[in-house]
Structure 1
């Protein structure tokens, strides 16, 4: 079982695609996405077993780990219908297209949502239960929540991705995917979350050292031929020649414009594009509230008037 954790616009989609590129893997992309939207709008959440719950935001620290646990253990009866009907399944995991097409066809026949899912869920259940490995990628699970999963699932391994907060936040602002309406509130929330997660990572590492791996995204993009085999070794997965060719194509292939796909090439250039595009005020605001993080991960403080001659922000010392 492999769990990829990180932050929105932080490189988790690319990293998860590199990790899940193994034979017989069952992959789920952001299974908490739809549930988070339901909670945000105070909607009642229905589950495949027929139960209904109104989940308060304060309860997410308990509910989110439970949902991920059910995905990992292929217990679909206890999974929310919002997740099982999320269009993300069709968009980001085309290997599950038979399930999603079955669901959509049932809905066209005016069947209820729960009936439509029940008729089709075996597509997921069989693939999940017979899979050699299971991989889940999410940006909605805190490290504290992940600690519960490490306790519940003895075979679980976590890959925790860190990206320069300036790159994360600039990309979030560009794509208008922030959860807060206020820029400063967003900056504070993202960097305080990273700080708390990293503190909890170090604490959990004391008990689960061999089951947790932290990866610097810029390092991964600069040295994929070193870092990806390292990740595979951590996961006890063979790094084949075919996998190596896939990594080269994804990371170093011709660049193409695409905000969410992972095969757009020039991974290092995309990781550092924020240096070229960031506005001065945005950089100053991020520095004010996030610079305390930089030295923890090897990021350098950058002056705005020198960005034109700057190619990278990650330069660990020592």
Structure 2
């Protein structure tokens, strides 16, 4: 029995491990990394040719994200998107199975042009459920979260969150804030803060920013708020970078950040890399000249060098879209 359990845990780890992938050449790995970077910056069109390189090498994660990029660009399930989702699903990519299962509610249904598939949406969802349920029962936090996505049963979201899955903790905070569960009024707010704190500590940047706002509004704790804003920026989160940069440059002055025009200008200038994704360029065009008007030319030169060093030592900018998009 112990051997069976060990083998089962090993099999489930293979399904849910982010490290399991096709054997890629260095060029294919670099293409995948670049494709994912662009995808996470809401540049689906630019990401496509890079993801295609790794997807053609049978990398299931690249196949999934290529399907995502194509579907998001077209705004409905196309034949090409479905082809890549199916390629990933045939390698037991559960996210791909779920997206194929959701195609029954896709815009293509209303347009009456959904591509034909070897399985119905219901069959894809059953396949996803059959693979996910054993992993969830064996305590895999990500699998528990996917069981919530598949069944919409709140108990799975709670189990995932209690097992330390940061995304589930974030959605527990969101749901609690919106009225889920039964709480005394002052306990509800406390629960929201606890879930956001756990999610932030678990490394989820959107939770870092929300917890910073929460802890300031609820406790007036400026030091903790500043900490999580800087942590979100260090993680490459677009909202963290834009907020940290603006507050350091006092454009506006919030959370009592000490004035640092050089660092504030440098961080704000990094957002130019997001041109074409997320409509950030409008913000940059307004804020960067405002900060520059307070600076001397030598400070701007210093900021330019600071920005180069930051890019070399920090993760790429990202909006951190959820892997299982709508």
Structure with larger Rg: 2
The structure carrying a bigger strand percent of its residues is 1
Same fold (TM over 0.5): no
Query: TM-score, normalising length from structure 1?
Result: 0.23
Query: TM-score, normalising length from structure 2?
Result: 0.23
